[in-house]
Amino acid sequence: MNEHATSTQKPTPEAPLWLLAELTYRCPLQCSYCSNPLDFAATTNNELTTEEWVDVLRQARAMGAVQLGFSGGEPLVRRDLETLVGEARQLGFYSNLITSGLGLDEARIDTLHAAGLDHIQISLQASDPDVAEAVAGSRKAYDKKLAMARAVKAAGYPMVLNVVLHRHNIDQLDAIIALCAELDADAVELANCQLYGWAHLNRNGLLPSREQLETAEATTVRWRERLSREGRDMQLLFVVPDYYADRPKACMGGWGSIFMSVAPDGAVLPCHSARMLPMSFPNARDDSLEWIWYDSDAFNRYRGEDWMPSPCRDCDERHQDFGGCRCQAYLLTGDPTATDPVCEFSPHHHLIESARREASEDKRKAAQLTPRNVHESRVFCRA
């Protein structure tokens, strides 16, 4: 145990329910909407070993965590994924693989199944291979993803397809949903792009217009009605982009409330974007998860309500949204304690309005966005 300062005035939190194991930031794709940190390359040669990950899983389960997500980057890049899945099964986690589908094949689906993986979520970029290539930087990825979606379904897994929506694919939504239906997905997350990491860098080139968004919502409603008429059981979840909402999301269910993320190098974070905040985070190599969760300054800093500025501190909605997202507040205002500018009561809400205006004037094509890549990332590592 270490000697970091501890907080004494915060409510005692419940145990974490969710552990996100970001096994690696390495990835064969270069999606310009990626939420990984800009300086992800700093962790490439410093990933936790298999034994260190096993220790993280054991500690989190002993604390009470029940849901486990394996993500990245592309978690299939780790050749020890099956070992970690097997450990998760033994410990009693419900485990979910969040993948691009690249690095998967029928044999690997079988070994992951045998190891005890419960669930697979595959991301799709578009219904059209040209847009998919422009956004993810790979021509082969489109066919591969479709083949793997079919293979996952054939292996008997419930299949969630995740489609990140942005200006360059949102007009294809009708065809995207038709493709998901053809692939026989059990659920489809139509997740409007969250503007963190590389996506924030490309914000002006990704943000859709209000008109595009309204058309996409109407398309989703039409598809829900059609699926219901046809007796199909494919759920469509439409996630509205923050920049078009008037209240912030209850990010992570509240800072340090239910969610704990461990980054490839062992940094332990209250959300996957937090490492760009102007504060330091503890590391699983140095401290126990229990100490980090209950006692570290990082996990206690935005718990409860003492830290809240006006207008949140007097607002009746603070118990529902916890003042919004700390990362978004920092990215937009430079102050991680600010009320999330998404909120219409925030004194910084004009920043959201001007971001929408700026984006509408930006005519970049998908191919002109900055792709997430190691070389650019090294520049951010030095910055």
Nearer to ligand FES, 200 or 372 (CB): 200
Q: Considering only residues 98, 159, 327, 366, which one is a binding residue for ligand FES as defined by CB under 6 A?
A: 327
The answer to the question of whether 315 is labelled as a binding residue is no
- With a CB cutoff of 8 Å and minimum separation 6, the contacts of 73 are 22, 23, 24, 25, 26, 27, 36, 40, 264
Q: Label residues 68-85 b or e (16+ Cβ within 10 Å = b).
A: bbbbbbbbbbbeebbebb
The answer to the question of whether 271 is labelled as a binding residue is no
Q: Considering only residues 185, 325, 343, 369, which one is a binding residue for ligand FES as defined by CB under 6 A?
A: 325
Which of ligand SF4, ligand FES, none has residue 274 at its interface (CB below 5 to 8 Å by kind)? ligand FES
Is residue 175 involved in binding ligand SF4 (CB under 6 A)? Answer: no
The neighbour count for residue 375, using CB atoms within 10 Å, is: 8
Token reading at 362: 């930006």
The neighbour count for residue 357, using CB atoms within 10 Å, is: 9
Is residue 315 involved in binding ligand SF4 (CB under 6 A)? Answer: yes
Q: Considering only residues 251, 331, 332, 352, which one is a binding residue for ligand FES as defined by CB under 6 A?
A: 251
Is residue 20 involved in binding ligand FES (CB under 6 A)? Answer: no
| Amino acid, res. 23 | L
Q: How far is the CB of 323 from ligand FES (least distance, A)?
A: 10
Q: Using CA atoms, how far apart are residues 377 and 198, in angstroms rounded to an integer?
A: 10
Helix (H, G, I), strand (E, B) or coil at 18: strand
Q: How far is the CB of 66 from ligand FES (least distance, A)?
A: 22
Q: How far is the CB of 22 from ligand FES (least distance, A)?
A: 13
Helix (H, G, I), strand (E, B) or coil at 100: coil
Q: Using CA atoms, how far apart are residues 122 and 115, in angstroms rounded to an integer?
A: 19
Q: Map residues 157-196 to x or -, x wherever contact with ligand FES holds by CB under 6 A.
A: ----------------------------------------
Is residue 19 involved in binding ligand FES (CB under 6 A)? Answer: no
Q: How many CA within 13 A on the CB side of residue 71? A: 19
The answer to the question of whether 312 is labelled as a binding residue is no
Is residue 343 involved in binding ligand SF4 (CB under 6 A)? Answer: yes
Q: Considering only residues 340, 352, 366, 377, which one is a binding residue for ligand SF4 as defined by CB under 6 A?
A: 340
Q: Considering only residues 115, 132, 164, 274, which one is a binding residue for ligand FES as defined by CB under 6 A?
A: 274
Q: Looking at the DSSP assignment, which residues form a beta bridge with residue 295?
A: none
Q: How far is the CB of 255 from ligand SF4 (least distance, A)?
A: 13
- With a CB cutoff of 8 Å and minimum separation 6, the contacts of 117 are 85, 89, 95, 97
* 8 A C-beta contact, residue 299 and residue 314: no
Element (H, E) at 234: none
Output the known binding site. Answer: 27, 31, 34
Interface residue list for ligand SF4 (CB under 6 A)? 247-248, 311-312, 315, 317-318, 321, 323-324, 339-340, 343, 345
Binding residues for ligand FES (CB under 6 A): 251-252, 271, 273-274, 325-327
